[in-house]
């Protein structure tokens, strides 16, 4: 199999899409993916949040923490502009549940102590590291088509390796793209 096609498949292109491309188009796409991306200038925003001493008790914060003269805790976070403007979506029901719990805590509907102990640390980390909008975006994802949990990268890589071994062991090295696709279509039926 053409190593460029393997790379494009690994990058997320479907075999159906690649089947529609000519060899020249595949080469151009492959070259574009391999070019190093140029670093764009980014603008950094600073967010300051002030907590009452009772709210801050027992919590750890990301960013710079300062105790003000009135006893309140000021937390300064830096981030790139646009970070919170991206609409995030949960990739599994498990992640959706975590984000839903974090969103309820963030909105004040639940207290951290109301969250089950085995989940509490993760919820606390999410609340401290993400904005309310980001958490809300994850929590609002429709769950009907989500898997229970996301496959790990190791599982996906192992599956890809097994598929490649099957292809390599059952198809001769000089197999063309058309022959491979024909073989796949025949075996689907």
Q: Is the pLDDT of residue 174 over 60?
A: yes
For residues 168 and 141, membership in a common domain is answered with no
Query: Which positions ≥6 away from 46 have C-beta within 8 Å?
Result: 76, 77, 78
For residues 107 and 133, membership in a common domain is answered with yes
Over residues 35-39, the mean pLDDT reads 50
For residues 18 and 70, membership in a common domain is answered with no
Domain extent, residue 14, equals 3-38+151-188
For residues 127 and 163, membership in a common domain is answered with no
Give the pLDDT of residue 35: 66
For residues 111 and 123, membership in a common domain is answered with yes
Quote the number of domains for the chain.
3
For residues 144 and 158, membership in a common domain is answered with no
For residues 136 and 95, membership in a common domain is answered with yes
Distance CA(133)–CA(81), nearest Å, equals 14
Of residues 43 and 13, more confidence is placed in 13
Structure confidence by residue, pLDDT tens digits, 63-115: 788 888 888 888 887 765 444 444 566 677 888 888 888 889 888 898 888 88
Over residues 48-71, the mean pLDDT reads 78
Give the pLDDT of residue 37: 44
For residues 140 and 158, membership in a common domain is answered with no
Structure confidence by residue, pLDDT tens digits, 120-150: 888 888 888 888 888 888 778 777 777 777 6
Structure confidence by residue, pLDDT tens digits, 2-23: 778 777 777 777 777 777 888 8
For residues 93 and 131, membership in a common domain is answered with yes
For residues 137 and 106, membership in a common domain is answered with yes
Min mean pLDDT across 30-34, 65-69, 170-174 is at 170-174
Pairing, β 64-67 against β 73-80: antiparallel
For residues 136 and 99, membership in a common domain is answered with yes
For residues 72 and 91, membership in a common domain is answered with no
Phi, psi of 116, deg, nearest 5: -55, 145
Q: Is the pLDDT of residue 51 over 80?
A: no
Over residues 160-189, the mean pLDDT reads 73
Cβ-based neighbour number of residue 89 at 10 Å: 13
């Amino acid at each position: 199999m053409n190593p460029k096609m393997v790379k494009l498949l690994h990058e997320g292109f479907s075999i159906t899409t690649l089947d529609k491309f000519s060899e020249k188009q595949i080469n151009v796409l492959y070259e574009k993916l391999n070019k190093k991306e140029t670093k764009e200038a980014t603008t950094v925003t600073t967010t300051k949040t002030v907590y009452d001493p009772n709210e801050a008790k027992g919590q750890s914060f990301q960013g710079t923490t300062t105790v003000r003269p009135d006893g309140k805790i000021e937390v300064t976070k830096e981030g790139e502009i646009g970070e919170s403007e991206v609409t995030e979506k949960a990739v599994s029901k498990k992640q959706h549940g975590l984000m839903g719990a974090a969103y309820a805590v963030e909105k004040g509907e639940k207290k951290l102590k109301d969250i089950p102990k085995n989940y509490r640390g993760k919820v606390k980390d999410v609340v401290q590291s993400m904005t309310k909008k980001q958490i809300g975006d994850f929590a609002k994802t429709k769950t009907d088509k989500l898997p229970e949990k996301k496959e790990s990268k190791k599982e996906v890589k192992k599956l890809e390796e097994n598929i490649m071994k099957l292809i390599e062991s059952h198809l001769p090295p000089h197999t063309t793209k058309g022959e491979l696709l024909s073989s796949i279509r025949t075996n689907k039926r």
